[in-house]
Amino acid sequence: MDPSAACMSKHPHVVRLALAVTLTLLFLFSSAPRAAFADPTGDPAREAALPPSFDLRAVPAEDGDTANYLTPVRAQTEDICWAYASLASLESSILRTSGAAVELSPWHLAYFTVTGTEEKEAAGLFFMDPPLYAGGTEPHLVAASLAAGKGATPVAAGADAAYDPMDESLRYRSEYRLTDAAFLSARAGSFWVGASDDQVMADAKHRIMDSGPIVAEFASSMYNGFYDFDYASYCNAAEPWNAPDHYVSIVGWDDAFPREHFNAAHQPQADGAWLVKNSWGTDVQNDGYCWISYEDETLRLIAGFDGEPSRQGETVYQYDKQGWLDSIALGSQTTAYMANVFTADSTELLDRVMLCTTDRGTACTIEVYRSVDEGDADPTAGELAARQTATFGLPGYHTIPLDTPVKLDPNERFSIVVKLDNPTYRYVVPVEGMVLTDPELPDDTAPQHMGYDASGAREISYLPPMA
């Protein structure tokens, strides 16, 4: 379905939004740990500040020494490289911001990203069982799973095994939280703004320096002539139709990596390569690391994940268990509003909001309203309790700590209202799935599993109707 056409109805729009709100209990607020929220601006002018080489294993420290912000190389035993690469990015961020060196379970992430009725529907696989540990999963689905509170648990018995069904009680066990997911390249059919190859390269380098590894995909065969065994280096600049088949994490670069260090039959035109942390163990390549030329046509730089330890007693209010799966346009304008209304479980402090942006440089205004009337369809019909602005350089998931936390009473209805102002990209609003209200469209075009609460009632989010 064309997302723009879906919103060109004369009827009011009610959709499922990719908007989640995180709360922490009142008595825990003052002692809750805080992470540094890196925000790469994506500003091309910053490119001049980039060093010619960088390695997350040897980051210069204030005392003149170096620090290693990478967790150990692991060896995958099934086709879940996407889980290993994604968790390598998240683990590095956690190590960098909290000092905790954690080994998160790729099996746990893989299992709960692809199993379940909502998960299957989101992947278009509801009428079949997907291969649990084969075929690959896009990092934007990993981001959605992590944002929903799934998949970030340390390796442990029952949470790190292949094939055996995992206990359903583990689905939302998550000792670590996603705080940010930055999306880089936008391949055909994606739902966030694209950028030039040079801009994606600059964005990736800044993201690696500021936050940690970038998840990437490329054609990985070591036996097709595009790999050099002496220097553990890849370059496929001649046959870009070779399909990417393997996810890795990009952990650094060297602009001066010699072009002569690639296979003589497939050398790039210029020096320069990305440093890659692989998931094939330390017995292959350079202790599990290799290089990919800047000119490799199969390489796609995709996303970076930030995280922090979960906070004891934390409550997550959300409707979008599957996260951001599409983006919609409201006419030709690049500004839009969206809102969710929730009911507080107990006495709590709302101290952060997570949302998604679809453009580079999106400006956001977040408003929190208390005492929202249950019978009022206007999510702003309440007491304005907080208002805050933020700007994000890259599209993706973002957490905004509120300067003024909002106290909530038990059973109090409250709303989060967000204004999104995109510089250029008109598909402004990130959504999970459409809840269609046009009577000319059949009911079976609406999601059958996404967008419902435990009792089967629709979980409603709000967009203003078009004029």
Cα distances (angstroms) measured from residue 191 to each of 221, 273, 429? 29, 28, 10
Q: Which two tokens stand for residue 295?
A: 């000119």
Per residue of the chain (467 residues), what is the pLDDT tens digit? 222 222 222 223 334 444 444 333 332 222 222 222 233 344 444 555 899 999 999 998 888 899 999 999 999 988 899 999 999 999 999 999 889 899 999 999 999 988 887 887 776 666 556 667 777 788 888 999 999 888 889 998 777 887 778 889 999 888 999 999 999 987 656 889 989 999 999 999 999 999 999 999 999 988 888 999 999 999 998 776 778 899 999 999 999 999 999 999 899 999 999 999 999 999 999 999 999 999 999 999 999 999 999 988 888 888 877 888 888 888 889 999 999 999 999 999 999 999 999 999 999 999 999 999 887 888 999 999 999 999 999 999 999 999 999 999 999 999 999 999 999 999 999 988 654 445 554 555 566 777 777 777 777 788 876 44
Start-end ranges of CATH 2.60.120 in the chain? 3-32+315-462
Are 448 and 121 within 8 A, CB to CB?
yes
Taking the CA atoms of 353, 359, 360 and 362 in sequence, report the sign of the dihedral they define.
Answer: negative
Cα distances (angstroms) measured from residue 12 to each of 415, 441, 464? 19, 14, 7
Q: Which two tokens stand for residue 402?
A: 């509120």
Nearest to 429 by CA among 123, 5, 41, 17: 17
Backbone phi, psi, residue 431, to 5°: -135, 155
Are 196 and 274 within 8 A, CB to CB?
no
Burial class (CB in 10 A: 0-12, 13-18, 19+), 329: buried
pLDDT value at residue 12: 30
pLDDT value at residue 62: 80
Rounded to 5°, the CA angle 357-361-364 comes to 55
Q: Which two tokens stand for residue 180?
A: 């940010």
pLDDT value at residue 2: 25
Nearest to 274 by CA among 230, 221, 238, 235: 235
Q: What does the alpha-carbon distance between residue 304 and residue 317 come to, in Å, rounded to a whole number?
A: 24
Q: The tokens 């005392």 sit on which residue?
A: 63
Start-end ranges of CATH 3.90.70.10 in the chain? 52-306
User: Exposed e or buried b for every residue in 210-249, given b needs 16+ CB within 10 A?
Assistant: bbbbbbbbbbbeeeeebbbeebbbbbbbeeeebebebbbb
* Architecture of the 3-32+315-462 domain: Sandwich (2.60)
Q: Which two tokens stand for residue 122?
A: 């989101």
Total count of residues recorded for the chain: 467
Nearest to 90 by CA among 406, 460, 418, 397: 397
DSSP run (H or E) holding 207: helix 197-210
Q: Which two tokens stand for residue 423?
A: 């510089």
pLDDT value at residue 133: 75
Backbone phi, psi, residue 114, to 5°: -115, -10
In DSSP notation, 236-300 reads --S-TTSPP-EEEEEEEEETT--GGGS-GGG--SS--EEEEE-SB-TTSTBTTEEEEETT-TT-E
CATH number of the structural domain 52-306: 3.90.70.10
pLDDT value at residue 20: 42
The three-state secondary structure class of 54 is strand
Q: Give helix 106-114 / helix 139-147 axis angle, nearest 10°.
A: 90
pLDDT value at residue 24: 32
